[in-house]
Amino acid sequence: HSVIMSAGALAKNFTGQVPRETTCKSGWEDLDSVARNIEANHAVFSQRTVGQLDDHAAALANMRIRIERQEQRLCATAERLETVVAPPLEALRAEVEQMRQHDRQEIRAHLDHLAKQLQEMSEVSEQASMEIQVPLRGVGTELGVVAHGCEDAFASEP
């Protein structure tokens, strides 16, 4: 800001005037003054920038330290949770597996029982079928005789 003002003041000195030896001397002095002003402002700005960069670097270092601490806390918490949760979880898995095995055995037993019942029913059905076939043959023979006798009776009627 001060550099712009100095340059503006210098420009006012030269506006509408023809440079003379005394004016040139004064102009060079003004330019020299502006250059010194710029250098001083640059130095102040550089120091301020370096200070800000140092502050930012310190803030970043603090942030890294906080992040590392938080990461360590999270890792420790995760390990504690795993230590606490792992045994009951394994016990639950074992219990579920045991229940599945028991259910499989129970289902196999039911299927075996049903297979035996079906086999027994098949044998009883076969035996009943054999027992019924003998009398049915006899009935069939008797029906054949009766039917033949009826034909003879109808044929002998005038």
Q: What is the pLDDT of residues 95-106, one digit of tens each?
A: 999 999 999 999
**pTM for this prediction:** 0.41
Task: Report phi then psi at 28, rounded to 5.
Answer: -70, -35
Task: Report phi then psi at 15, rounded to 5.
Answer: -70, 125
Check residue 19 and give left, alpha or beta (phi > 0: left; psi -120 to 50: alpha): beta
pLDDT of residue 33: 87
Cα 75 from Cα 130, distance rounded (Å):
80
Give yes or no for residue 6 having a pLDDT over 50. Answer: no
Q: What is the DSSP letter of 16?
A: T
Q: How far is CA 72 from the centre of its chain?
A: 24
Q: What is the DSSP letter of 64?
A: H
The pLDDT-based confidence of 155 (bands split at 50, 70, 90) is low
Q: 34-80 pLDDT, tens per residue?
A: 888 899 889 899 999 999 999 999 999 999 999 999 999 999 999 99
Provide the 10 A C-beta neighbour count for residue 3: 14
Q: Which residue has the tokens 């055995």?
A: 105
Greatest pairwise CA separation for the chain in angstroms: 176
Cα 51 from Cα 45, distance rounded (Å):
10
